């Protein structure tokens, strides 16, 4: 493996090797280090396990085929999250566009996305009902609020990481989260 002495930390060096030199070991290492976290970001955007897995594949394929290039201006995980978010948003837009035109051809049950997997066993019906209610309420939020809320609370990113991922400011993220909480509170009380 070609070792880079660019001043990057290990993650950025791995990302540089994967993007610029198609280094399989670097790409595989990145996948093992960040795959689960990227999957959570994808789930927060697409709300479907199969589609989220495909988004993760798209992220790593875009690194491998060179369509996503790391420039070193951000941390590796922030850059990966941004690529993931772009791929997820692109997938949601395609799905929504397709569903608008083909809504009559699909059964309503097929159109419903899988519920979010919060990585806890569904041992009681009450817990399942709470999750379904939470998902339904979150899905009613405007897109940017829903995304900020999911990244912060479900993917557990910091304000700064959410801001970098959404390509906005920390104060904008704080505002989105404030409005999302207020909207959720109103929805819950209505």
Q: Tell me the average confidence (pLDDT) per consecutive run of 10 residues in the chain, 190 residues long.
A: 52 85 89 91 85 92 84 85 87 66 43 48 59 81 89 83 89 92 85
Whole-number Å distance between alpha carbons of 47 and 49: 7
pLDDT at 174: 92
pLDDT at 125: 61
pLDDT at 69: 80
Contacts of 29 (CB under 8 A, 6+ apart): 14
Whole-number Å distance between alpha carbons of 190 and 170: 30
Contacts of 146 (CB under 8 A, 6+ apart): 138, 139, 180
Is the CB of residue 139 less than 8 Å from the CB of residue 44?
Answer: no
pLDDT at 124: 55
**All domains of the chain in start order, with CATH:** 1-108 (1.10.1740.10), 115-190 (1.10.10.10)
pLDDT at 58: 93
pLDDT at 98: 53
Is the CB of residue 165 less than 8 Å from the CB of residue 78?
Answer: yes
């Amino acid at each position: 493996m070609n070792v880079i002495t660019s001043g990057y930390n290990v993650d950025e060096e791995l990302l540089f090797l994967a993007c610029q030199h198609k280094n399989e070991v670097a790409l595989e290492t990145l996948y093992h280090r960040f795959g689960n976290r990227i999957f959570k970001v994808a789930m927060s955007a697409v709300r479907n396990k199969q589609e989220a897995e495909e988004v993760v594949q798209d992220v790593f394929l875009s690194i491998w085929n060179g369509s996503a290039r790391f420039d070193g201006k951000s941390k590796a995980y922030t850059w990966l999250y941004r690529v993931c978010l772009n791929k997820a948003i692109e997938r949601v837009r395609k799905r929504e566009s397709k569903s608008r035109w083909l809504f009559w051809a699909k059964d309503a049950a097929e159109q419903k996305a899988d519920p979010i997997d919060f990585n806890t066993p569904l041992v009681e019906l009450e817990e399942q009902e709470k999750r379904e209610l939470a998902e339904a309420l979150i899905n009613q939020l405007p897109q940017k609020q829903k995304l900020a809320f999911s990244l912060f609370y479900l993917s557990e990113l910091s304000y700064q990481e959410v801001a970098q991922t959404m390509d906005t400011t920390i104060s904008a993220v704080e505002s989105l989260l404030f409005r999302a909480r207020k909207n959720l509170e109103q929805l819950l009380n209505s």
